[in-house]
Amino acid sequence: DIQFIDDHVLTERLNQIVAAVESTRKQLSVRSRDKSERVVTLRGLPNTGKSRLFNTLAGRQAAIVADIAGTTRDVVTVPVQFEGLEAVLVDTAGMEAIETSSPEHAISRQAQIQADRAGQHADVRLWCVDRSSASWEETVAVMQHQAGRRRRSAIDLWVATKCDIAGTDGVEPPWIATSCETGIGIDSLRKEIVIALDRLNATDSNSVAATAARCMGSLRSAESVGVFVQRVTDVLGLTG
């Protein structure tokens, strides 16, 4: 036998559908405006001036700075703004190979794992190389190799540090010459970070907006269900 649904039950179920459509529409509206904080991570060999640059960009003493290589062990994070764009700035341990599995190197190994993970999750990576180092060219090759084998969707910026030291030559683009001692290139670096963040946000906004537009179009069609429910309710005399 055919079981006919009760009028009140039918109306209740239709109203649930309308409520679900409206809830989904509101969620899409919020998500289309939402932008999560971007992650800007500093990477480089030990004692290249990463932590000092980190503090300079952060505008405060957030990381310990020393002339001893390997001072930074833990990943250090601080919320920052670049021309109104919110981001999380991340300092990491200097990149180095840990050849031995001895217990005394356990902390160094863990620091490398954390630093590598931070680099993989970064939206913008600042690859820092000491311009005064005698092994500049070799280090650049290492950094470029590391950048190539990590997250491809990230934007890489190339930062030459300690450019105030006597005897250091200039650098060619894409390298940005900087010095935390004199302030050389810091404003230029900030501008490049803003450009990178704008590019990422524009790309994501276009993608989200296109998806949201398609979904919102479907939801607008679905909203006609609400009109239908009201008409059914009126016909059945269930209004009020």
140-180 pLDDT per residue, tens: 999 999 888 766 689 999 999 999 997 787 899 999 999 99
Rounded CA-CA distance 155/87 in Å is 14
Name the most confidently modeled range: 100-109, 114-123, 132-141.
Answer: 132-141
Cβ atoms 124, 200 nearer than 8 A:
yes
33 vs 124, more confident: 124
Burial class (CB in 10 A: 0-12, 13-18, 19+), 166: exposed
pLDDT at 194: 95
If one compares 161 and 71, the residue with the highest pLDDT of the two is 161
Residue 150 has a pLDDT of 64
Percent of the chain past pLDDT 70, that is, above it, reads 63
pLDDT at 118: 79
Distances (CA, A) of 52 to 32, 49, 100: 37, 5, 29
| Average pLDDT estimate for 213-226 | 55
Q: Tokens at residue 185, please?
A: 């290139």
Q: If residue 126 lies in a helix (H) or strand (E), which one and from where to where?
A: strand 124-130
What are the distances in angstroms from CA 110 to CA 14, 113, 114, 125? 56, 5, 6, 20
Question: Looking at residue 68, what is its pLDDT?
Answer: 44
Which whole number is the average pLDDT over 206-215? Answer: 55
Name the average pLDDT for the chain. 77
pLDDT number for residue 37: 79
Q: What is the pLDDT of residue 17?
A: 75
Distance CA(24)–CA(22), nearest Å, equals 5
Residue in this structure with the two tokens 């302030």, named with its chain if needed: 183
What is the identity of the amino acid at 142? V
In this prediction, residues 105-120 reach a mean pLDDT of: 75
| Least confident residue range of 14-23, 187-196, 209-218 | 209-218
**pLDDT recorded at residue 58:** 92
pLDDT at 56: 95
The amino acid occupying position 90 is V
Q: Residue 136 phi/psi, 5° resolution?
A: -50, -55
Of 10 and 202, the structure prediction assigns the larger pLDDT to 202
Q: H helices within 6-59, ranges in order?
A: 7-33, 50-58
pLDDT at 193: 97
Four-CA torsion 206, 209, 211, 215, nearest 10 degrees: -170
